[in-house]
Chain A
Amino acid sequence: MKNKCISLFFLSVVAFAHQPVMDMAPRWSGGYGFQVRYESFGSDRTINDKDILSSYYQQTVWLEGVYTWHRSKRITFKLPYHSIEDKDADVIAIDNSLGDLIVALPLKKYSNFNRSTQNIGFTPQIRLPLNKDPGINSGHLGAGVSLTYSLESFSFYQMYDVFGWVYDDKNSQLGLDINVGIHPYHNNKTNTGIFLIWDVSGRWEDDSSVLLSGPVLMPYRHKMMARLEVKFPVIENGKSTQLSRGITINTGIGFVF
């Protein structure tokens, strides 16, 4: 069943998830990878903590892939499938549908040092609507660019990403993602280890903004890497009555070859 989604304005957060398969690997020519990611968020309270008769909950499964034909050039795709429950008083809209396909061309300039490596990235990307009947998070053509800087040593990891999107149907959006973390364990014999990272994500639109933050756990073993993150809304602003995004849970598993 699918109805056009209703309810209060909700700040959409375009996924530019800095997931392992998309950023850390594959760095080698001819490398490829894919990952599956599950994301959920939503709440039944407004950003100023008022109880109302509305709620919004979204679960999305992302299928994502990457191909590297040179360490400085990659192509990625992200395809979401949304399950949205949008309630306004007694009216409930449910949207289970394919979202918009996001295709990106990350261009990276790597520099290697004695005990660290860094890269500066520029990523043009487009959002292609696959569904002619738009739901809340689908049906809109968009274009975006991002600028990324990442520095990594054996013990520390940091990544900064600034990006912007424009859409054919609504306001543009600016975003900032920061990942800073440590690499407390690694076994060279089995290539097994773990990263512990703190994530900060900010999104700004014309009449609303949100800042999310929380911990990220990234275990890996050989060609497999997983990611579990929990993000809490730290700042949520909006001119109109607006639902809080609530707690975001993001978990994924990726493989590279």
Chain B
Amino acid sequence: MQYLYKQIILLITLIGIVSAQTIELYGKKLDIHKDEVILEVSGLVCSFCAVGLQGGLSSLKDVDKKKYIDGVFVNVEYQYAVIAEAADKDIDIDKAIELIVKSGYEVKTVFTNRTGEKIETRKIESKKDEK
């Protein structure tokens, strides 16, 4: 029985390795999994301010709220947000960018790994909400 458990854990680990790809943000290496979107957000240094951003992104359709805090992880040290997607669903990235801008920040880059084999990088033109 113990042998079977070890085999299952090994299989899960291998699947994880295969489906994850890596990027680097400010010297920090990040794995991008198949069902995740990573957004590099400039100005995202204020932890208390990040609460609004977290709440906004959690409200998006097709977010897997079982992961992280309601489906969103915010790292203010390296200025990025991770959105967990529900299985076989894709979140509306443009809507996510709009919410981030409304929260007072700018999105620089969006990283996705839809196929689980290749990271797609989308640079975002400065889309300021200031008047």
Interface residues of A (CB under 8 A from B): 20, 24-29, 31, 70-72, 109-117, 152-154, 183, 186, 188-191, 193, 220, 222-223, 225, 256-257
Contact = CB atoms under 8 A, between A and B. Distances in A.
Nearest to A222: B51
A27 B56 CA distance: 12
Given A27-B49, A28-B52, A117-B46, 15 more contacts: A24-B46, A25-B46, A26-B52, A28-B103, A70-B129, A114-B42, A115-B79, A188-B74, A188-B76, A189-B69, A191-B69, A193-B47, A220-B48, A256-B52, A257-B55
B104 interface: yes
Given A28-B52, A28-B56, A191-B54, A154 B77 contact: yes
Contacts of B103: 27-29, 71
A223 B51 CA distance: 6
Interface residues of B, number: 32
Contacts of A186: 47, 76-77
B130 interface: yes
B130 A24 contact: no
Nearest to A110: B104
A113 B69 CA distance: 26
Given A191-B54, A191-B69, A24 B76 contact: no
A193 B76 CA distance: 11
A154 B76 contact: yes
Contacts of A256: 48, 51-52
A119 B72 CA distance: 26
A168 B74 CA distance: 48
B5 interface: no
A117 B79 CA distance: 11
B11 interface: no
A28 B103 CA distance: 4
Interface in B76-90: 76-77, 79
Nearest to A114: B42
B51 A191 contact: yes
A186 B50 CA distance: 12
Interface in B45-71: 45-56, 68-69
Contacts of A116: 43, 45
B75 interface: yes
Contacts of B77: 154, 186, 188
B111 interface: no
